[in-house]
Amino acid sequence: MSLANELLACRSCGQVHPDAKAVTLPDGRVVGSYSHEYRAYTEAKWVLTKLPVTVNKRRKSTPQISRREYILSVGQRRGEAAMHELAANVRELWKASK
């Protein structure tokens, strides 16, 4: 398997999907669009851009979960290590945006 194929290989099945592409992360690393690193980056970006810091329960048009609550629920579902990784990724993206 060539280096390009290893970069684009799916993390679940190990195959290279037709829509896989190389993506450059904000820290300069080039990873595949099916890699764990890219999934972690997109999840952290989603948390930072789509979820509010606090929730106004009276407004039904806004998301009903805050960033903190989402990160804590990740800890309950996927474990402490995943929670800390997500929190660190969100913090890193937030610092980079300042």
pLDDT of 23 over the 60 cut: yes
Split into its structural domains, the chain has a count of 1
Q: Name the average pLDDT for the chain.
A: 85
pLDDT of 75 over the 90 cut: yes
Distance CA 93, CA 25 (A): 11
Distance CA 52, CA 67 (A): 6
Distance CA 36, CA 75 (A): 17
* CA-based torsion, 27, 33, 37, 38: positive or negative: positive
* Domain assignment of residue 29, given as a range: 3-97
Please state the pTM of the whole predicted model: 0.82
Contact 96, 25 (CB under 8 A): no
Overall average pLDDT of the 20-43 stretch: 89
pLDDT of 88 over the 80 cut: yes
Q: Which residues contact 11 (CB under 8 A, 6 or more apart)?
A: 34, 35, 36, 39
**pLDDT number for residue 83:** 96
